[in-house]
Amino acid sequence: MKEFAGKTAVITGGGTGMGRELARQLVAEGCNVAMCDVSEAAMAETKRLCEIEKLPQGLRVTTHVADVSIEDHLKRFRDELAEQQKTDKIHLLFNNAGIGGGGSLFTNTREQWERTFNICWGGVYLGVRTFLPMLVKADEAHIINTASVNGFWASIGMGQAHTAYSSAKFAVKGFTEALINDLRLHAPHVKCSVVMPGHIGTSIVSNSRKVQSGDGSDRLNADEVALTRNRMVAAGVPDAAKMSDEDIQAVFTERARSFLEDAPTTAAQAAKIILDGVKAERWRILVGEDARRLDERVRATPEQAYDRAFYESFAQEVGWKLG
């Protein structure tokens, strides 16, 4: 697929971050976009940004509220798309939605753990299941599943467990690789890619907290404050045990800000890398110089990948401040 003009794209998690930037860049190339997200307000802003430059006549941008971990929500999204976009086929499926959190089997609840896993993995699986018939009906199509560097390296540093997200992203990577031959055998006009971003400037830290808590607030609740304090103590942060609740809140707010604003790769840059990868029909798309370097390191010394020295030297090399 060398161009996107006149095509129809589905984007999950289109309200913020890479999903928003994918929508903007696709629309700029003349592609119809149908996006879903749990936040109607966030999608409205994405749509507004897409429409700042007057859309070409007939181009459609539609928004649909859906939780990708719930199959009935995705089926409703599909049916609304068919009606509002006036089509029975799509050409691009970006399974982009994801959240963090629920990292530990010990300190997080089962509900938190499974919420992350069911969105990050289940949303990809159910997305493909739901939209595959519409992809097959197109003359050419492409499935793009967002994994992460955590799909080949299950860590964000030594001070914090990361099991739910990493498990989900490993599943996404394996599923997409297995799809390559499944599609060749049964729908050779449909291609697929697994996207593995490094640290991208998005609002995933604050958005994940909102989804996990269900309260839509930017502030930590009492349990989250206690858990954050315990993590900081375990990580050896000086005087963490003596910090007030407001101090802990300030640490979380700064972490969310830094993850968004201080990242080595912006969401817009990431979206361009992804779309260029689709045009080049690359099944494996690493996003960011940090992703490329980490991939090289893990392949070179897999037995050392979870040693403290491995993480510390890599973080220093690329400027990561995670974990």
Active site (catalytic) residues? 165
Residue that the structure tokens 């960011």 belong to? 288
3-state secondary structure of 222: helix
Residue that the structure tokens 């739901």 belong to? 130
User: Based on C-alpha coordinates, what's the Rg of the chain?
Assistant: 20
Kindly state the tokens that stand for 247.
């101090």
Contacts of 35 (CB under 8 A, 6+ apart): 10, 11, 12, 14, 15, 19, 23, 43, 46, 47, 61, 62, 63, 64
Give the C-alpha separation, 286 to 199, whole Å.
11
Give the C-alpha separation, 157 to 15, whole Å.
28
Q: What distances in angstroms separate CA 87 from CA 36, 48, 54, 83, 132, one per listed residue?
A: 17, 23, 22, 7, 14
Give the C-alpha separation, 279 to 26, whole Å.
12
Kindly state the tokens that stand for 102.
């629920």
Contacts of 117 (CB under 8 A, 6+ apart): 102, 164, 167, 168
Give the C-alpha separation, 41 to 18, whole Å.
17
Contacts of 105 (CB under 8 A, 6+ apart): 113, 161, 163
User: Which run of H or of E encompasses 12?
Assistant: strand 8-12
